[in-house]
């Protein structure tokens, strides 16, 4: 059963059951207590309904605030974004109002782009819901039901409707989990965090001042150069290195590691500690931790590959040192699960390469590949990562040739995605998430034979897009596997005994989940995680020999996972 929801913003709203043919409707219910009405539905029907609403991050937080959790939903805005992207229509508004306007042939202005703060990937394509485009004479609930029916028809018309329907379902489930994780929060010990910072940076400095350890490092860096240097200024550093006879192209850490100068180890340490201070220092602690909880503000699908972003808080880049502050409550424990070697296993599954799939049946895929490299596991790992990330020249070239002989279908899969990207075509994940099309400027530069262009620049631009699409088909599918896994974990946790407390999913980072559960429920939570990984494998890929083993740790402190 599907039930459409229109919240009125004052705790009430309207509900209407959607008919099996998606065009007929049941009775209309006007309620003053939306949370209570939704709860009644959830508990009265053996197979919980799928709630159809405009946007989970608008409708669901008040329900969660009333201690309500729903089993499943259809997030119209997220699904509209996926469908628009499938046809290369990035940048178009994704709200119910915009979708309704398109359905009725009306003009729709684009929504502003909201960029997430995490992930070193192409810019995220997330659009702020537009609440103003439904005309005042059009019933909002009726518009919602119309758009939902249209989305179902559009999904059914795709080449792989079952896959895309799964993508829509788990994207929506991820939105539910994101709201719940923000509400529940990660258990966080401010005193431990402060002790970590004090141990690494010295006592907390007055507002606006540099911590003692950073100030000391700055003085030592200047002494090493024999001149005052601001280590936060790339320009001053480049001039200082040049004056010392060490010309460097940039001050990035990976460049400096190859430079022989006494200031380099000091600079590397300064960069590490300065990043900690700015990203997760005392100001972060004051801003983001309240009542013993850090509450990540996730942006579902905030990156074009389907990975999540955050609206500040740095949840996806918590450094190891700071993880010491993530400590379970008394009589509770943390259960952390990480899907190891996920992207290579995804490549084995989507490419249909039987030899690579057989290797991915082992706990350590790279060790199984090492036979093709005279037993050198590290070379096997470097070669496979180069194949997925587009490092095709230099030392990687002979490794790729070895892989191509041993696993031709896997290499052909990513090579074909790269060619599609270089030629301006779209590529898709396994379930149907689609990469953004190239910009008009890129097309003029690379594809327009009549436009004058520098050949080297055009070739470089083509290669860069090819590297992106090469990895997109793997990374986007890995993000989908993580969503299917998360949805299964969320459902499994809801079925556990709550006599000693309610197990919660509290943290998500790319392919890692962290649960906060009563200590007596830890074994059951581990079983839920392992069953969910198996469910994700079969739902995504059917009877594949590829395994997706989990590294699971039951710990009191996240840093020990």
**φ and ψ of 187, to 5 deg:** -60, 125
- The per-residue pLDDT for 24 is 60
Statement: residue 23 has pLDDT above 70: no
Q: Say what the pTM is.
A: 0.92
Q: What end-to-end distance do the CA atoms of the chain give, in Å?
A: 40
pLDDT in tens, 342-358: 999 999 999 999 999 99
Range name among 25-39, 166-180, 218-232, 447-461 with the lowest pLDDT average: 447-461
**pLDDT recorded at residue 378:** 93
pLDDT in tens, 332-389: 999 999 998 999 999 999 999 999 999 999 999 999 999 999 999 999 999 999 999 9
- Dihedral angle, C-alpha 489, 492, 496, 501, nearest 10 °: 30
User: Over the chain, what is the mean pLDDT?
Assistant: 91
177 vs 491: CA distance, rounded Å: 10
* Strand 50-53 to 72-75 pairing: parallel
Gap between the Cα atoms of 180 and 73, Å rounded: 14
* pLDDT the model gives residue 129: 43
- Token code pair at residue 132: 């103003």
- CA gap 380, 542 in Å, rounded: 27
Per-residue pLDDT reduced to its tens digit, 283-319: 999 999 999 999 999 999 999 999 999 998 989 889 9
**pLDDT given at position 391:** 83
User: Does residue 529 register a pLDDT over 80?
Assistant: yes
- pLDDT reading at 438 higher than 90: yes
CB of 53 closer than 8 Å to CB of 5: yes
Predicted confidence at residue 22, as pLDDT, reads 57
CA distance 360 to 349: 9
* Poorest-pLDDT segment among 146-160, 394-408, 482-496: 394-408
Q: What residues does 74 pair with on adjacent strands?
A: 52
Confidence of residue 222 (pLDDT cuts 50, 70, 90): very high
Q: What is the pLDDT of residue 453?
A: 61
Instruction: Show the tokens assigned to 352.
Output: 């249909």
pLDDT at 423: 95
Long-range contacts of residues 39-44, Cβ cutoff 8 Å, at least 24 apart: 39/68, 41/3, 41/15, 42/68, 42/70, 42/71
Q: Which residues contact 401 (CB under 8 A, 6 or more apart)?
A: none
Question: What pLDDT was estimated at residue 114?
Answer: 44
Say what the pLDDT of residue 39 is.
94
Q: Are 36 and 13 in contact (CB under 8 A)?
A: no
Task: Give 128 or 4, the one with higher predicted confidence.
Answer: 4
The pLDDT tens digits of the residues spanning 66-99 come to 999 999 999 999 999 999 999 999 888 899 999 9
b/e sequence 138-155, b meaning 16+ C-beta within 10 Å: eebbbbbbbbbbbbbebb
Give 85-88's long-range contacts (Cβ < 8 A, gap of 24+): 85/125, 85/433, 85/434, 85/436, 86/158, 86/164, 86/428, 86/432, 86/434, 87/434, 88/426, 88/434, 88/436, 88/437
Backbone dihedral angles phi then psi of residue 443, each to the nearest 5 degrees: -65, -45
Report how many helices (DSSP H) and strands (DSSP E) the chain contains, helices first: 21, 16
Confidence bin at 133 (pLDDT 50/70/90)? low
Least confident of 12-16, 45-49, 289-293, 550-554: 45-49
d(CA 190, CA 287): 11
Chain centre to alpha carbon of residue 222: 40
**Does residue 17 have a pLDDT over 70?**
yes
The per-residue pLDDT for 126 is 40
For residues 88 and 438, give the distance between their C-alpha atoms in angstroms, rounded to a whole number.
9
How high is the pLDDT of residue 130? 44
128: pLDDT strictly greater than 80: no
User: Has residue 181 got a pLDDT over 50?
Assistant: yes
> Quick one: pLDDT at residue 26?
80
d(CA 66, CA 47): 22
With beta carbons less than 8 A apart as the criterion, state whether 119 and 309 touch: yes
pLDDT confidence tier of residue 555, bands split at 50, 70 and 90: very high
Tell me how far CA of residue 204 lies from CA of 195, 242, 444, in angstroms: 10, 35, 54
The 3-state DSSP class for residue 75 equals strand
The alpha-carbon radius of gyration of the chain (Å, integer) is 26
Between CA 407 and CA 348 the distance in angstroms is 9
């Amino acid at each position: 059963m599907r039930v459409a929801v229109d919240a009125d913003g004052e705790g009430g709203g309207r509900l209407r059951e959607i008919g099996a043919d998606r065009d007929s409707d049941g009775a209309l219910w006007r309620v003053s207590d939306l949370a209570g009405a939704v709860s009644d539905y959830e508990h009265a029907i053996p197979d919980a309904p799928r709630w159809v609403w405009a946007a989970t991050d608008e409708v669901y937080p008040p329900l969660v605030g009333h201690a309500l959790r729903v089993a499943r939903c259809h997030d119209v805005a997220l699904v509209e974004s996926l469908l628009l992207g499938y046809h290369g229509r990035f940048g178009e508004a994704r709200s119910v109002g915009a979708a309704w306007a398109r359905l009725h042939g009306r003009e729709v202005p684009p929504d502003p782009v909201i960029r997430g703060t995490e992930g070193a990937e192409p810019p995220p394509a997330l659009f702020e819901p537009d609440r103003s485009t439904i005309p005042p004479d059009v019933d909002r609930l009726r518009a919602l039901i119309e758009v939902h029916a249209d989305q179902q028809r559009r999904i059914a018309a795709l080449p792989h409707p079952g896959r895309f329907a799964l993508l829509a379902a788990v994207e929506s489930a991820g939105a539910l989990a994101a709201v719940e994780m923000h509400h529940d929060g990660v258990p966080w010990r401010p005193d431990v965090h402060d002790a970590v910072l004090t141990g690494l940076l010295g006592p907390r400095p007055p507002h606006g001042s540099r911590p003692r350890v950073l100030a000391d490092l700055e003085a030592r860096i200047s002494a090493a150069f024999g001149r005052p240097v601001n280590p936060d200024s790339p320009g001053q550093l480049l001039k200082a290195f040049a004056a010392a006879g060490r010309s460097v192209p940039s001050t990035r850490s990976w460049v400096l590691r190859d430079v022989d100068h006494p200031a380099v180890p000091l600079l590397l340490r300064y960069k590490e500690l300065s990043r900690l201070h700015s990203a997760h220092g005392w100001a972060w602690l004051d801003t983001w931790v309240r009542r013993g909880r850090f509450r990540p503000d996730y942006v579902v699908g905030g990156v074009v590959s389907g990975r999540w972003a955050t609206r500040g808080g740095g949840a996806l880049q918590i450094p190891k040192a700071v993880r010491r502050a993530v400590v379970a409550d008394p009589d509770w424990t943390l259960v952390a699960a990480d899907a190891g070697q996920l992207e290579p296993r995804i490549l084995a599954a989507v490419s249909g390469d039987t030899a690579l799939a057989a290797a991915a049946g082992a706990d350590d895929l790279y060790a199984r590949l090492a036979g093709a490299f005279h037993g050198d596991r590290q070379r096997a790992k470097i070669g496979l990562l180069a194949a997925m990330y587009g490092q095709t020249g230099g030392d990687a070239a002979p490794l790729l040739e070895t892989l191509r002989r041993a696993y031709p279908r896997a290499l052909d899969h990513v090579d074909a995605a790269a060619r599609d990207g270089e030629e301006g075509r779209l590529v898709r994940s396994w379930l149907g998430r689609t990469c953004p099309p190239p910009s008009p400027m890129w097309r003029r530069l690379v594809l327009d034979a009549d436009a004058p262009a520098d050949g080297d620049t055009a070739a470089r631009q083509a290669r860069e897009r090819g590297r992106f699409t090469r990895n997109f088909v793997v990374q986007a599918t890995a993000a989908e596997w993580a969503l299917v896994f998360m949805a299964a974990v969320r459902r499994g946790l809801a079925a556990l005994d709550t006599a000693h407390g309610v197990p919660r999913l509290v943290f998500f980072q790319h392919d890692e989940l962290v649960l906060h559960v009563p200590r007596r429920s830890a074994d059951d939570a581990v079983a839920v995680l392992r069953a969910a990984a198996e469910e994700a494998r079969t739902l995504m890929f059917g009877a594949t020999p590829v395994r997706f083993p989990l590294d699971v740790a039951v710990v009191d402190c996240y840093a020990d996972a």
